[in-house]
Amino acid sequence: MTEHTITLRVNGLEESRTVPSNQTLLSFLRDTLDLTGAKEGCGEGECGSCIVLVDDKPVNSCLMLTVEADGCSVTTIEGIGDASRLHPLQSAFLAHAAVQCGFCTPGMILAGLALLRENPSPTEAEIRSALSGNLCRCTGYRQIIDAVLAAAAAMRGEAARAREEKTG
């Protein structure tokens, strides 16, 4: 089997590994780095449960080869917050009961994060469009949309407070 040595950044840490040329980025994250937040649902690019950010863009990691991420910066759900320091999107998903089985949640949150970084004040239609590649079999989507709207407001508030502190 052909192998390649690659270097990429995952959640801010540089990783140099020799990987099979046919390994998916999802497998690399889960099986090599033990970052199991990204989930394998369909394995065909249809469900979004495997979404991670590659150079800040949401990508179905089941469809990307690890070697294609050589030189890139990858962010997984583990890189945006943890139980002691939740990201506003994670807090909002909990507060709005937008998590049931949780299988879709990492992908939903990362797709939502990519949207909010580009568009801090999205409309409901823009959120639905940004999350159109993410399937959820449990929540019915209303709670997820409400969570992203609430997180957007919280993040705008945080940004405003940071600006105020900077300007004194």
Give the binding site for ligand FES (CB under 6 A).
Answer: 40-43, 45-50, 60, 62, 99-104, 136-139
In the complex with ligand FES, the residue whose CB is nearer, 41 or 88, is 41
CB of 135 to ligand FES, least distance (A): 7
CB of 94 to ligand FES, least distance (A): 12
* CB of 75 closer than 8 Å to CB of 15: no
In the complex with ligand FES, the residue whose CB is nearer, 3 or 31, is 31
In the complex with ligand FES, the residue whose CB is nearer, 46 or 118, is 46
In the complex with ligand FES, the residue whose CB is nearer, 7 or 22, is 22
CA distance 90 to 97: 11
The secondary structure of 30-85 as a DSSP string is IIIS----S--SSSSSSS-TTEEEETTEEEETTTSBGGGGTT-EEE-GGGT-BTTB
**Tokens describing residue 8:** 């990429």
CB of 101 to ligand FES, least distance (A): 3
CB of 71 to ligand FES, least distance (A): 22
CA distance 28 to 45: 17
